[in-house]
Structure 1
Amino acid sequence: MAGKGFFKGWYFKQEKGSRAAALIPAFHFPADAPGYASVQVITEEAAWNFNFPLDAVKVFGKKDTIQIGNNYFSPRGIRVSLNKEEDGRTIKIEGRIRYAGLAALKSDIMGPFRYVPFLQCRHGVVSMCHKTRGSLKVNGDTYNFHGGRGYIEKDWGSSFPSYYFWCQSGWYDRQECSLMVSVADIPFLGGHFPGCIAFVYYRGKEYRLATYRGVRILKFCENEVLLRQGKMMLSIRVKPTEGQHLKAPVQGSMNRFIKENLVCTVWCRFWLDGKLIFDHLGMGSAEFDTGTNRLR
């Protein structure tokens, strides 16, 4: 791939109780180097990156399914067998997790922006929430996700936004609740604008807030986002931990580091027609790289 380079990656998160693990399979075509693939693994304690040659990759059409070496990722589940030597020790991650009851968005989260060419980065949500069954063994430590919950999304393009905030959280309150918020700087036609995509999936109903639906970003910083759209208002506050460093794409190459809190405290509030629908303080994931800029 020439020009600005290209990447595509998926984010498979599973959690149960206070434990979580996310796996990020991806392939990359840097602007100035040969293509390759990678699998990143993140837990609340650490993160690891495994690189693979491009010929180890098989992508299965529009099914959001990718195989990298002996590692398989799809909306039906994941199967991993990863190992390498790092800092004088063996890193070994293996296991299998099955997914069931996926909740898909009613339509593309990008809305009409999915038709706009040359966007720096595009985003997709494969499943807002689903059930998990299985386990992972991470360096001898077993993560049991039987009876847990999962979330799947994806990104593709040339680079991550220069600054952004992302948060995903979910819980059971009689019925399933899951939400995702992303606020970012969007380069467009020589300029830029603050963009937002978000959803709330609560008791079987989807609520969407987005730039293309007229959302107003009332507040944005490293640990808080406040959104208003029509009769809806969504407030997210994050209490970050030290977090882990993940690699992120710049012109297709994974040579940028961002910070992710896979397990942190998230305070979520959602109003509809002036009525408080939920006020939840619990666990979630947050990722941010706000640099010295702020949305205006």
Structure 2
Amino acid sequence: MGRTYYAEVSMYRKGFFKGWYYKQEKGGQAVAFIPAVHLSGDGKGTASIQVITEDNAWNFDFPLDTVRLSDKKDTIQIENNYFSPKGFRVNLIGKKDGKPVKIEGRIAFGNIAPLKGDIMGPFRFIPFLQCRHGVVSMSHKTKGSIQINGDSINFHGGRGYAEKDCGCSFPSYYFWSQCGWYDRQECSVMVSVADIPLAGCHFPGCIAFVYFGGKEYRLATYLGVKILRFGEREVLLKQGNMLLYLRVQGHGGQKLKAPEKGSMDRLVKENLVCKVWCRFWKNGKLLFDHVGAGSAEFITGSSMET
């Protein structure tokens, strides 16, 4: 384990988690991988890799001593599965509902577009935050393929997105969506609105970015963003001369495990492949109005019915 990992754990005595999210898509197909480590309040540590597609989701558990973390390189290795900002390789074997599952493959990233600075801004200096978010790459090219039970999905010439989280628990409520398109100008959008508990108070916090035409536009609570509309399917944000609107189209989704006081005892639902209507104005000028393929989560309360 890296030194930063142990320093982070020491701040969260009621439990800790750290995880990454790697999504790749091409031609209406997408696969996301979520490697993570988690430490419950009683000191029991485990690791997991979750895999999600449009139609299914799988969870693979591992002992904590199979994990190798590098803080400097921002990498995680769980047994012979390796994830980094340059790409990943997986060789996962398990069972779901009594049926064998095998997921293997290798994806390389190219033309990675990192943020100009930490998406958390000055909030990154606040200790004991319930959840800290990070963006590894706003957008990048993908090369390689993934095989799921013998069926191959080719991501050569596709696009990817990568982010990460750490803390003790996911927020009690949150909206998250990420989408992108590449037919005319490359564009990637991420919006997260969530409950932020801090110093005995709660408030809705927001972090978002628009990556369009090679430029990064950021909207965030610490930059004075106003949440004009917030619900299960749509968000409207205003900050200075920028206005961003997202509306998620479509229902369904797959169940994923999420951290609650370090333990993966909570269930959330993610719609990995859905339509997201994005509109973005700057100085009163509409820069884009597009319905693209994306992913979304919206959670209320501390848990969800199974």
TM-score, length basis structure 2: 0.93
- Give the one of 207, 214, 221 matched to 1:197: 207
TM-superposed deviation, 1:60: 1.2
Which aligned runs of 4 or more in structure 1 are off by greater than 4 angstroms? none
Letter paired with 1:42: I
The match for 1:87 is 97
- Whether the 8 Å contact between 1:221 and 1:290 is mirrored in structure 2 is no
Matches within 5 A, 1:50-199: 50-199=60-209
TM-superposed deviation, 1:33: 4.8
Number of residues paired by the alignment?
Answer: 292
Question: What whole-Å deviation, never above 9, does each CA across 1:84-113 have from its counterpart, x for those lacking one?
Answer: 122221011000011111001001000000
TM-superposed deviation, 1:173: 4.2
| RMSD, aligned α-carbons | 1.1
- Give the one of 30, 34, 37 matched to 1:24: 34
Structure 1 unpaired stretches of 5+ = none
- Give the one of 15, 38, 50 matched to 2:25: 15
Secondary structure in structure 2 of the residue aligned to 1:113: helix
Output the CA distance in 2 between the equivalents of 1:87 and 1:206: 44
Output the CA distance in 1 between the equivalents of 2:183 and 2:242: 20
Percent identity (aligned) = 69
Output the CA distance in 2 between the equivalents of 1:62 and 1:25: 17
The match for 2:293 is 283
Output the CA distance in 2 between the equivalents of 1:182 and 1:144: 29
- Give the one of 221, 235, 238 matched to 2:231: 221
Letter paired with 1:181: V
Structure 2 unpaired stretches of 5+ = 1-8
Question: What whole-Å deviation, never above 9, does each CA across 1:205-254 have from its counterpart, x for those lacking one?
Answer: 00000000000000111100000001000000001321000100001110
Output the CA distance in 2 between the equivalents of 1:288 and 1:69: 32
Output the CA distance in 2 between the equivalents of 1:71 and 1:236: 35
TM-superposed deviation, 1:158: 0.3
Output the CA distance in 2 between the equivalents of 1:276 and 1:253: 44
TM-score, length basis structure 1: 0.97
Secondary structure in structure 2 of the residue aligned to 1:45: coil
